[in-house]
Amino acid sequence: MAEFFTTIWESILAFLRSYNWLTDTLDIALVALFIYFIIRLVRDSRAVELLKGIAVLAVLYLLAYLLNMTTVLFLLKAIFDNGLLVLVVIFQPEIRRALEQAGHSRKGLLRMFGGFSSVENAAQIDQWERAIDATGKAVELLQMQKMGALIVLERSTRLGEIVHSGTRIEAEPSGELIANIFYNKAPLHDGAMIIRDGKIHAAGCILPLTDNRQINRELGTRHRAGVGMSENSDALVVIVSEETGTISLADGGELTRNFTKETLTKALADRLLWNPEESKVKPVWRRRKESQQ
């Protein structure tokens, strides 16, 4: 028994002597960061179920090896030999979303790992404050009248392809104008509105639908389009249900429901107007609002 512990201790000492505290620590940290990114990528998506299927195949491969099942072993070996290509095909939507978020913004990598997006100057803040207030007023009007709405607030990722699918407007935001566009007899009510740089940029736009099967089946096309848009960009998407009047917000592929006008405007301001260069304590919009009181 003493020899066993002596061997273990010598192995530990040998490992510590060979360990390079700079390069090896950096190597481990990068691998841990990569694993964390993969977990964020597949979390709360259908990719989780696919990973379970891959784990089942790995168990079958082990059993086939132990039981010397030649045919099964040959087939599974062929699958695992081309595993990288198979994974790329299977996780294509998740990989595409991650690369789009990384490539469309100078803060893309920060956002992929849970970073933030900010508005950088006073003029932008004023414009976005007007847009947020107008959005809150509009959804309140639409909620009372049980009319649906799909409002996309563009951030760093430019949505040129989405804009081209609709009608350009270029107008100053107001609650009445937004509500009028989504009036159920208006020609542009059935698509999405794009708000860019705090102004109404386009309406009647077509959004991509999500493939996420975990979304409540009771939710219709409008909600699936909102979630799909937030999966493929860093945009915030406000959805008003035509059937129930419920106000929802899609951000990063996640749907949060049951907002009021006040809670929605606060959530939009916190996400759009946070400026870490000006304040580490509270969002810019809140400091500006307090200074006006």
pLDDT tens per residue, range 67-114: 888 888 888 888 777 777 767 776 666 666 666 655 544 444 444 444
Per residue, the 3-state secondary structure of the chain, as one string, reads CHHHHHHHHHHHHHHHHHCCCCHHHHHHHHHHHHHHHHHHHHCCCCHHHHHHHHHHHHHHHHHHHHCCCHHHHHHHHHHHHCHHHHHHHHCHHHHHHHHHHHHCCCCHHHHHCCCCCCCCCHHHHHHHHHHHHHHHHHHHHHHHCCCCEEEEECCCCCCHHHHHCCEEEEECCCHHHHHHHCCCCCCCCCCEEEEECCEEEEEEECCCCCCCCCCCCCCCHHHHHHHHHHHCCCCEEEEECCCCCCEEEEECCEEEEEECHHHHHHHHHHHHCCCCCCCCCCCHHHHHHHHHC
Q: Are 248 and 239 in contact (CB under 8 A)?
A: yes
Q: Are 285 and 274 in contact (CB under 8 A)?
A: no
Confidence band (pLDDT; 50, 70, 90) for 253?
confident
pLDDT digits (tens, 9 = 90+) for 184-214: 888 888 899 999 999 999 999 999 998 877 7
Lowest mean pLDDT among 43-47, 81-85, 129-133: 43-47
pLDDT digits (tens, 9 = 90+) for 133-176: 999 999 999 998 889 999 999 988 888 889 999 999 999 999 99
CATH for 122-292 is 3.40.1700.10
- The backbone torsions φ and ψ at residue 284, rounded to the nearest 5 degrees and listed phi first, read -60, -45
pLDDT at 159: 87
Between 162 and 123, where is the model more confident? 162
Residue 261 pLDDT greater than 90, yes or no: yes
pLDDT at 158: 82
Confidence band (pLDDT; 50, 70, 90) for 43?
low
Q: Where in the chain is the domain with CATH 3.40.1700.10?
A: 122-292
Residue 19 pLDDT greater than 90, yes or no: no
Q: Are 91 and 53 in contact (CB under 8 A)?
A: no
